[in-house]
Amino acid sequence: MNSISGRVALVTGGSRGLGLEIAQALAKEGIHVALGYRNRREEAEGIAASIEAAYGIRALAIGGDASKAADVHNMVSIVERQLGGITILVNNAGINPTATLDSITQAMWDETLATNLTSAFLMTQRVLPSMLEARFGRIIMMSSIAAQLGGVIGPHYAASKAGMLGLMHSYASLLAKEGITANAIAPALIETDMIKNNPHITPDLLPVRRFGQAGDVADIVAALVRNGYITGQTININGGWYHS
């Protein structure tokens, strides 16, 4: 049995796309997983049941709005009661409302920052007591190449994803002595629903001339969860688009 088998992970936005692939990768490691979702309850519960059957771990679909403190408290409390203390958190919940520069409204800005950044802060703060008690924790922020290059969605999205990097660096610095790591992943053009129907997003943007796959990202998440020495880092998975 490895050091992470039997632990409990929460993946926000975990019932579809990239989040689902990450949840499955963690389940393969013997980790019990909670899949956060905001809508589509029946679909999320069916996915949780299929993960349990496939990997022999416990899986739970947990609904709520991760950008609202009351929902976050309730979601985590349910996971703690049913699965145990959360020591692995993947902040993956997010939206990407594409807009031209002159069409971005304050409402769009507020919603994007709340969904992509505030949710990561609220979730991390809520699960930290369990990590501190266990003296083990893995915090992973799903950022984006937009945090580094601006991206093609808009400044509201780029700012939300850049904020996740600052949040990650702060947690990494403050928690390293507690056995808790914090890292970020900055993907570009992963082939999920998030990039469909956007004419500005094509494989030609990438040096490798193809979209990335969700499994490319999930593999790195699992590696970061296994590794207790890597912290404070942004892992770029972008087909060679940005070199740090």
Q: Calculate the CA 167 to chain-centre distance.
A: 13
Kindly report, residue by residue over 137-177, the tens digit of the pLDDT.
Answer: 999 999 999 999 998 889 999 999 999 999 999 999 999 99
Q: Copy the structure tokens of residue 242.
A: 């940005």
Ranges of each domain in the chain: 8-237
pTM, entire model: 0.94
Helices (H), 34-178: 41-55, 69-82, 106-113, 119-134, 146-149, 155-175
Q: Is the pLDDT of residue 221 over 60?
A: yes
Q: What angle do CA 170, 172, 178 make, to 5 degrees?
A: 120
Q: How far apart are CA 105 and CA 129, in angstroms?
A: 37
Task: Please name which of 94, 116, 75, 87 lies closest in space to residue 4, comparing C-alpha atoms.
Answer: 87
Task: Please name which of 227, 129, 141, 225 lies closest in space to residue 178, comparing C-alpha atoms.
Answer: 129
Residue with the larger pLDDT of the pair 196 and 220: 220
CATH class name, domain 8-237: alpha beta
Residue pair 19/213 in contact (Cβ under 8 Å)? The answer is: no
Q: What angle do CA 116, 233, 38 make, to 5 degrees?
A: 20
Q: How far apart are CA 72 and CA 80, in angstroms?
A: 12
Residue pair 85/59 in contact (Cβ under 8 Å)? The answer is: no
Kindly report, residue by residue over 61-88, the tens digit of the pLDDT.
Answer: 999 999 999 999 999 999 999 999 999 9
Kindly report, residue by residue over 103-123, the tens digit of the pLDDT.
Answer: 999 999 999 999 999 999 999
Residue pair 211/203 in contact (Cβ under 8 Å)? The answer is: yes
Q: Active-site residue numbers?
A: 157
Task: Please name which of 53, 149, 154, 142 lies closest in space to residue 101, comparing C-alpha atoms.
Answer: 154
Q: How far apart are CA 108 and CA 114, in angstroms?
A: 10
Kindly report, residue by residue over 168-212, the tens digit of the pLDDT.
Answer: 999 999 999 999 999 999 987 777 766 666 677 777 777 777 777
